[in-house]
Structure 1
Amino acid sequence: MLITLQFSHTGVSVSAGFLALACAVGFLIWQYKKRKMNSTSSKFLTRNASSSHMNTEVGAHLQIHLFSYDELMAATDCFDTSRELGDGGFGTVYKGKLRDGRTVAVKRLYERNYKRVEQFMNEVEILSLLHHQNLVSLYGCTSHRSHELLLVYEFVPNGTVADHLHGSRASERILTWPMRLNIAIETADALAYLHAVDPPIIHRDVKTNNILLDSSFHVKVADFGLSRLFPVNATHVSTAPQGTPGYVDPEYHQCFQLTDKSDVYSFGVVLVELISSKQAIDITRQRSEIHLANMAITKIQNHELEDLVDPELWYPSDEVTKMMITMMAELAFRCLQSDGDMRPPIKEVLEGLKAIESKIYKSEEKNDVWTQDDATGARNIAVFSPDCVTGKWVSQSTTPNTSQ
């Protein structure tokens, strides 16, 4: 009986020992997971800073000013609805005034989760590296540990290109054809800069809602939450498709391969919007024309460009403007090819847009720049592109854009 009791006592002791060990292991695992969660949301701001020192190192590492949440609350009158400038897929933008008198735009991300923190950190890191006259300037942000995730940009007063083409300010008809051509040139210039920096940057959300206009109607490309740093000498980045319906590269959507030509496709949609004043997606249009890109390819192939162009731009007596629009349509057509290899690089698109502008200026000085096409009455520039703008335009694929 004594032996039995001794064994029982030993069993209790062993069980207690195992229980204590299990508790210790569980505590260590909990601590590890907690540290991992805390560090995950901070790794996007700086690869070298530890999570425990992130608050003090972020501003210094990226040379970005850290605003306090209270300061931005005061600047926007507690995010008063009367100060709303716009509402996008990731957050609401408010007009604010800082203590130093600067007028700013404050983006307030909708919710605080892992994905939003990632986009927040991504935009801060990318914009801190960029300096171009046609890119929006980032003044600073709140700490990633702040009550809310807030980004502070320069204030761009004239809204978005989308507002003026088919949005709240479309009725004002401010954007003349020369202004639209200049918007195209400056946007292409900004994208060419992004694709040329080291490492290259793919914007991944090029659209008229992300093209802002300053007080002189010059372009400021914005919203880099989805942008990607592109590895040098890489042909593509394999990643799940992201972007806005109507602008997403169909090849990227189908093959999960992001390239610089993905931005070119999106820019092609922007060019068609500038020509037509139509939305990229409009479910009120007939089924085959819901996607503006598909509509444009069909109209161009069928020689029905006049049906695509904004009627207020297409005056029969203005042959110069009609030819400029036709040539921009040609560039858009090339950008919208479903095969990315058939699209021109953005630098070539920029050169094409500048050529349109420069040849038109020359046409005012020399009448012999233009040649008359006796069959159609259309005017064509003798040497501009290997593709004839009055000939049959054939797309490499008539497959509809299924990116949505």
Structure 2
Amino acid sequence: MEEGEDEESGGGGGGGGEGKLILFQGGEHLTLEDVLNATGQVMEKTSYGTVYKAKLADGGTIALRLLREGSCKDRGSCLPVIRQFGKVRHENLIPLRAFYQGKRGEKLLIYDYLPNKTLHDLLHESRVGKPVLNWARRHKIALGIARGLAFLHSLETPITHGNVRSKNVLVDDFFVARLTEFGLDKIMVPAVADEIVGLAKVDGYKAPELQKMKKCNSRTDVYAFGILLLEILLGRKPGKGGRNGDFVDLPSLVKVAVLEETTMEVFDVELLKGTRSPMEEGLVQALKLAMGCCAPVASVRPAMDEVVRQLEENRPRNRSALYSPAETRSESGTPF
């Protein structure tokens, strides 16, 4: 089946007029019957939909995002954008494998299921067996995210991610980062797109100019990436959710540390393990890059391809840990 070709009602006993399944590269094996009969387990709920881990009859697993009724634009406005998403393939992006619209207008986005941890969990969960997140590993994660965003921004019809945050980055055992949820605001009705921007504000990833203009763009993605890079370097959650429910403004923390000449103290302690000199290892340069991405004036921020270039030039010297599965905190020995 051709990429993006429509498959009507699934065939194979799927019944007539149940809806429409559109398949993309890598999803050709799916039928409408597979999708509708999959048994789902809720993984995540948001204001605009629910994500299920769904088991197929053949034992395979997929991730289904059921979009909330009324959250999505009508089929005519939605489909061209969905077809564009279905063509996007990059190692740092989760691919869309299929799209289903039911007779009652219900919409399902179908992705690969990846049993990976989110970057948010890796950074902020404390548990035995969690991977050691030294600078080499964090750098690899940050570079992967930057490459995924740069790819989206460089497409013939550029895609703005619109919801860059640590909860939307999956990280595998080899510290390869993959972005989820890119471009969803493009298919949402304006009120729901505004909700996504509002959530970015609460979570501390919202660019200042989004107060006046509601539409995300490549520069607002760069701002959110800057916050995410600070989160990686500082090990602190941005936005609301401190112990007292205070708002944590990561760029302000760094500015204060620079003024007080305590810059080395802002880095996550775990990040510094095994790092002889933060200056030599490129940590300070990464901090400067993150702050540049968070510039209050959008036009001053670097483009994502420039961010990728700087991160590639600023690789940690000790990268021996990168291509071996995760050493964990429960294991003895010094983290590499």
Decide: shared fold, TM above 0.5.
yes
Q: Does 1:92 align with 2:50?
A: yes
Query: What secondary structure sits across from 1:92 in the alignment?
Result: strand
Q: Does 1:166 align with 2:121?
A: no
Q: Does 1:102 align with 2:69?
A: no
Question: Which letter does structure 2 place at the counterpart of 1:202?
Answer: T
How far residue 205 of structure 1 moved from its aligned partner, in angstroms, is: 0.7
Give the distance between the partners of 1:117 and 1:186, measured in 2 at CA: 34
Q: Which structure 2 residues correspond to residues 186-197 of structure 1 after superposition, within 5 A?
A: 186-197=144-155
CA contact (8 A) 2:23 2:97 kept: no
Identify the residue that residue 312 of structure 1 maps to in structure 2. Answer: 270
Q: Does 1:112 align with 2:74?
A: no
Q: Does 1:152 align with 2:110?
A: yes
Identify the residue that residue 326 of structure 1 maps to in structure 2. Answer: 284
CA contact (8 A) 1:63 1:128 kept: no
Q: Which structure is higher in helix share? A: 1
CA deviations 1:254-310 (Å, max 9, x no partner) are 344643111100000110111122112134367986233433343344433233211
How far residue 179 of structure 1 moved from its aligned partner, in angstroms, is: 1.2
Identity among equivalent pairs (%): 26
Q: 2:231 aligned to 273, 278, 298, which one?
A: 273
Larger radius of gyration: 1
How far residue 63 of structure 1 moved from its aligned partner, in angstroms, is: 10
Give the distance between the partners of 2:66 and 2:214, measured in 1 at CA: 30
CA contact (8 A) 2:159 2:183 kept: no
CA deviations 1:57-116 (Å, max 9, x no partner) are x72799976753x6445422xx3xxx333334433322222234432212233x311547
How far residue 133 of structure 1 moved from its aligned partner, in angstroms, is: 1.1
Give the distance between the partners of 1:253 and 1:241, measured in 2 at CA: 13
Q: 2:249 aligned to 255, 279, 291, which one?
A: 291
Q: Which structure is higher in strand share? A: 2
CA contact (8 A) 1:64 1:141 kept: no
CA contact (8 A) 2:225 2:293 kept: yes
Identify the residue that residue 38 of structure 2 maps to in structure 1. Answer: 75
CA contact (8 A) 1:67 1:140 kept: no
Q: Gaps (5+ residues) in structure 1? A: 1-44, 47-52, 230-238, 363-404
Query: What secondary structure sits across from 1:357 in the alignment?
Result: coil
Q: Does 1:340 align with 2:298?
A: yes
Q: Gaps (5+ residues) in structure 2? A: 6-16, 188-192, 320-336
Identify the residue that residue 166 of structure 2 maps to in structure 1. Answer: 208
Give the distance between the partners of 2:274 and 2:176, measured in 1 at CA: 29
RMSD of equivalent CA atoms: 3.7
Q: Answer 1 or 2: higher relative contact order, Cα 8 Å, separation at least 6.
A: 2
Give the distance between the partners of 1:62 and 1:171, measured in 2 at CA: 36
How many residues are treated as equivalent by the alignment? 294
Q: TM-score normalised to the size of structure 1?
A: 0.62
CA contact (8 A) 2:92 2:179 kept: yes
Question: Which letter does structure 1 place at the counterpart of 2:248?
Answer: I
